[in-house]
């Protein structure tokens, strides 16, 4: 991988500046993508934006920014001058917020305070205005293979500006697959959000929905890391496979659990689909079970109901997902006293600390967490009990 250091004047970057909202933000005569389409909204607050302009007006250095070369070449000539080809295009990897603060000020969308007065760009004294326009951004331009770039960006980003892991991956694996994936998953009004809003949390513009879908399909198809899947699909014509997968997940949830409850939102549905979609379930039975369990006071974790119902036939300990009520110290002490410190099963004596409160009639058979249903067992007998729940 090669890294070239260049300096670009603010005036040159501002040339051709265009804020197309969700369709992206561009500058530097269209050669620079400051923010790619369907990525997060501006996040610096006014004070932070103003601080960037102050830094420039005081002539202090801003930290180095990083641009990725997405097209064309950057070379050094014999005298070590940087030569940028005419067709070169860049994307800001690190420095998006700082660049946007300056662009916002230059397009009259930001007011700053200087020596006790408020200024928009137009009212700025000539000397300050020319200082701003002639200020040079220090930029590292990186060229290399996608995996080299990603490895390196992951390190750089530790000290840089707040790009999420998925935004970083998106900046490297650009191509038709990503464009199509973003259409489905990354617009604030995208189809994936409309489809899954009731079930899956995540902000499309932060790439959280795309990331969740990718985590899901990677688990299903045996990819260890998202970047491996993206590398495999980077030149695919479209992201139909991922989109189809995501729709399957949601439709499966709607089929298995036909009645919607608000606690269905935020469950790890992709993972549950991957694990259980080949099993068959009767949706009528499921509907009644979901209702019955929601009315069960012994359950303290209603959001565990769905995974419990999906897994209970194969996992005897599935009820732990429900965080069932346990006996109070008072009930346990009372039972311990009544039993005279003797385990109700093995009949051997134990200290209070060596014992656990147990439901005589288990939850699955309708047993409640009441003093009459409490017995003390030694830990060994308790763990051997087959109908623990
Ligand atoms: Zn015992």
Domain ranges of the chain: 2-164, 178-256, 262-268+280-322, 329-384
The rounded distance, in Å, linking the Cα atoms of 36 and 18 is 12
For the four alpha carbons of 292, 293, 296 and 302, in that order, the dihedral sign comes to negative
CATH code, 329-384: 3.40.1800.10
CA of 387 to the centre of ligand 1 (A): 15
pLDDT for position 359: 95
Q: Please compute the mean of the pLDDT values over residues 214-226 and round it to a whole number.
A: 98
CA of 360 to the centre of ligand 1 (A): 14
CA of 355 to the centre of ligand 1 (A): 8
Q: Please compute the mean of the pLDDT values over residues 314-325 and round it to a whole number.
A: 93
CA of 384 to the centre of ligand 1 (A): 9
What pTM does this model have? 0.83
Q: Print the SS3 string covering the chain.
A: CEEEEEEEEHHHHHCCCEECHHHCEEECCCCEEEECCCCCCCCCCHHHHHHHHHHHHCCCCCCCEEEEEEECCEEECCCCCEEECCCCEEEEEECHHHHHHHHHHHCCCCCEEECCEEECHHHCCHHHHHHHHHCEEEEEEEECCHHHHHHHHHHHHHHCCCCCHHHHHHHHCCCHHHHHHHHHHCCCCCHHHHHHCCCCCCCHHHCHHHHHHHHHHHHHHCCCCHHHHHHHHCCCCCCHHHHHHHHHHHHHHHHHCCCCCHHHCCCCHHHHHHHHCCCCCCHHHHHHHHHHHHCCCCECCHHHHHHHHHHCCCCCCHHHHHCECCCCHHHHHHHHHHHCCECCCCCCECCHHHEEEEECCCHHHCCCCCHHHEEEEEHHHHHHCCCCC
Percentage of the chain exceeding pLDDT 90 = 76
CA of 320 to the centre of ligand 1 (A): 22
Residue 131 near residue 57, CB atoms below 8 Å: yes
Q: Please compute the mean of the pLDDT values over residues 6-16 and round it to a whole number.
A: 96
Question: Is the pLDDT score of 158 beyond 80?
Answer: no
CA of 356 to the centre of ligand 1 (A): 10
C-alpha 364: how far from chain center: 37
173-198: per-residue pLDDT in tens? 988 999 999 999 999 899 999 999 99
Q: Poorest-confidence range of 77-81, 109-113, 140-144, 378-382? A: 77-81
Question: Is the pLDDT score of 283 beyond 90?
Answer: yes
29-69: per-residue pLDDT in tens? 999 999 988 887 767 899 999 999 999 999 999 989 989 88
């Amino acid at each position: 991988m090669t890294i070239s250091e260049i300096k670009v004047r603010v005036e040159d970057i501002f040339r051709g500046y265009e804020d197309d909202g969700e369709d992206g933000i561009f500058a530097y005569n269209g050669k620079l993508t400051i923010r790619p389409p369907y990525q997060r909204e501006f996040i610096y607050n006014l004070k932070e934006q103003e601080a960037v302009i102050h830094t420039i007006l005081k002539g202090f250095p801003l930290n180095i920014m990083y641009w990725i070369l997405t097209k064309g070449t950057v070379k050094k000539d014999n005298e070590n001058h940087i030569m940028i080809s005419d067709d070169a295009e860049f994307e800001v990897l690190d420095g998006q917020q700082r660049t946007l603060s300056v662009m916002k000020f230059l397009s009259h969308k930001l007011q700053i305070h200087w020596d006790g007065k408020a200024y928009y760009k137009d009212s700025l004294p000539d000397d300050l205005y020319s200082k701003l326009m002639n200020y040079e951004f220090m930029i590292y331009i990186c060229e290399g293979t996608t995996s080299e770039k990603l490895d390196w960006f992951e390190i750089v980003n530790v000290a840089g500006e707040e790009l999420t892991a998925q935004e970083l991956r998106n900046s490297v694996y650009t191509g038709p697959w990503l464009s199509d994936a973003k259409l489905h998953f990354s617009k604030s009004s995208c189809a994936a959000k409309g489809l899954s809003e009731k079930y899956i949390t995540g902000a499309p513009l932060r790439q959280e929905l795309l990331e969740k879908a990718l985590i899901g399909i990677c688990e299903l198809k045996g990819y260890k890391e998202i970047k491996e899947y993206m590398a495999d699909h980077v030149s695919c014509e479209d992201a139909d496979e991922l989109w189809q997968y995501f729709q399957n997940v949601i439709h499966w949830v709607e089929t298995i659990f036909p009645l919607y409850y608000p606690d269905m939102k935020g469950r790890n549905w992709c993972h549950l689909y991957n694990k259980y979609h080949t099993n068959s379930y009767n949706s009528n039975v499921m509907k009644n079970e979901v209702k019955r369990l929601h009315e069960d006071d012994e359950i303290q974790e209603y959001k565990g109901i769905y995974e419990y119902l999906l897994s209970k036939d194969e996992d005897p300990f599935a009820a732990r997902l429900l965080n069932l009520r346990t006996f109070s110290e008072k009930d346990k002490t009372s039972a311990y006293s009544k039993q005279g410190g003797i385990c109700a099963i093995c009949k051997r004596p134990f200290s209070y600390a060596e014992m656990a409160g147990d439901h005589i009639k288990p939850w699955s058979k309708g047993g409640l967490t009441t003093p009459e249903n409490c017995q003390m067992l030694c830990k060994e007998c308790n763990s051997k009990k087959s109908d623990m729940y």
